[in-house]
Amino acid sequence: MNRLLKSREVLLALAILALLAVIATRFPAFIAPGNLTNVFNDTAPLIILALGQMIVILTKCIDLSVAATLALCGMVAAMLDGAGVPLALILPAALVLGAALGAVNGLLVWKVDIPPIVVTLGTMTIYRGIIFLISDGRWINAHQMTAGFKDLPRTEVLGLHVMSWIALAVIGGAYVLLNRTALGRSFFAVGGNPHAAVYTGIDVGRMQAVAFVLSGALAGLTGYLWVARYAVAYVDVAGGFELDVVAACVIGGVAIAGGAGSVAGAVLGALFLGVIKNALPVVGISPFWQLAISGSAIIIAVAFNARQGRARGRIILKSAEHRA
């Protein structure tokens, strides 16, 4: 029981519930089921990207190019739609393009041995620049998109939008991948102790490259969803969103030094930010506060992570001693 209370996921879930309770005392409509599904739907892109980012961070890397990848894939999807390509081809195209952009990051980290932060800072501006080059800086607006393209994420199935269902599917997929497959466990091994991972026959660089490909593919998928849902594509789509994604991971207890984190944590971290973002206008606080709030949340969370990480180490040793 004590350990359960100390776990990051439970604390975070309690924090979100407390937040909802505080909001509900003044604005009960906020916690109506209909509104909560809206909040979840609104947070879906952040959840999907945070899961991709978590895999990258698990391997001791960081992907700052996710938002740019999202925007580029979204723009390409919108342009393909304009060229009359059927939706059944656009979706895989966005996914593959995202994976390819992720592979560029991954190969530069794996084969050329450039620090991930430098690689993704660079590709972040390059990908955004490419959007400008292919679109000539023009916007693609709602009336230039076909109805089918725009409707898919908003179609309701069993009370939830397709966007939410996709997020749930990604959560399920990430859980199975990270907890039930050899590939998933290798991500933890690579980040936990790269030298030990090499001795157990895991190629560290390759795992990092695979992580970037996964993160890129998820960003590509989200790119289509984002552009279709908001029905607009332009150079600065999701500008600065990479910070929210990293914030969601850090708040969710994903260790920035790699090797530690959970799917539930990342999802709850994203939901925490999502609830705040959706609550601000309801409570009557200017949306301009959001940037500062997520910044403070990152700092508080990372300070908390560092403290908890230290305590956890001691507990493991103690229990091992007791058993011996």
Partner 1 sequence: MSDASHTPRIIPDRLTSPLTRALRSWEALLVVVAVAVFIANSIASPYFLDAWNLSDATFNFTEKAMIAFAMAMLIIAGEIDLSVASIIALASTAMGIVMTAGFGTPAIVATGIGVGVLCGALNGFFVARLGLPSIVVTIGTMSLFRGISYIVLGDQAFTGYPDSFAYFGQGYVWWVFSFELVLFAALALGFYVLLHRTNFGRSVYAIGNNPMAALFSGIRVNRVRFILFLLTGLMSGIAAVCLTSRLGSTRPSIATGMELEVVTMVVLGGVNILGGSGTIPGVVLAAVIMGLVTFGFGLLNVPGIVMSIFLGLLLIGVIAVPRLIARMRR
**Site residues (CB under 8 A) for partner 1?**
62, 108, 112-115, 117-119, 121-126, 128-130, 132-133, 137, 194-195, 198, 204, 235, 243, 246-247, 250, 256-257, 286, 288-299, 302-303, 306
CB atoms under 10 Å from CB of 285, counted, come to 13
Query: What is the closest distance, in whole angstroms, from the C-beta atom of residue 239 to partner 1 in the complex?
Result: 9
265 class by beta-carbon count within 10 Å (0-12 exposed, 13-18 middle, 19+ buried): buried
CB atoms under 10 Å from CB of 264, counted, come to 18
**CA 143 from centroid of its chain's CA atoms:** 29
Query: What is the closest distance, in whole angstroms, from the C-beta atom of residue 12 to partner 1 in the complex?
Result: 17
Query: What is the closest distance, in whole angstroms, from the C-beta atom of residue 157 to partner 1 in the complex?
Result: 35
Query: What is the closest distance, in whole angstroms, from the C-beta atom of residue 173 to partner 1 in the complex?
Result: 27
Helices (H), 83-157: 87-110, 116-135, 147-151
The residue (of 170 and 254) whose beta carbon lies closer to partner 1 is 254
CB under 8 Å, gap of 24 or more: what pairs does 19-25 form? 19/272, 19/275, 19/276, 19/279, 20/275, 23/279, 23/282, 23/283
Query: What is the closest distance, in whole angstroms, from the C-beta atom of residue 205 to partner 1 in the complex?
Result: 9
Query: What is the closest distance, in whole angstroms, from the C-beta atom of residue 114 to partner 1 in the complex?
Result: 5
Give CA separation, 101 vs 95, 125, 238, in Å: 10, 13, 17
The residue (of 127 and 224) whose beta carbon lies closer to partner 1 is 127
Q: Are 116 and 63 in contact (CB under 8 A)?
A: yes
The residue (of 268 and 301) whose beta carbon lies closer to partner 1 is 301
Query: What is the closest distance, in whole angstroms, from the C-beta atom of residue 85 to partner 1 in the complex?
Result: 26
The residue (of 75 and 166) whose beta carbon lies closer to partner 1 is 75
Phi, psi of 221 (to 5 degrees): -60, -45
The residue (of 200 and 286) whose beta carbon lies closer to partner 1 is 286
The residue (of 119 and 162) whose beta carbon lies closer to partner 1 is 119
The residue (of 31 and 107) whose beta carbon lies closer to partner 1 is 107
- DSSP string covering 40-63: HHHHHHHHHHHHHHHHHHHTT---
Q: Alpha-carbon distance 36 to 278, whole Å?
A: 10
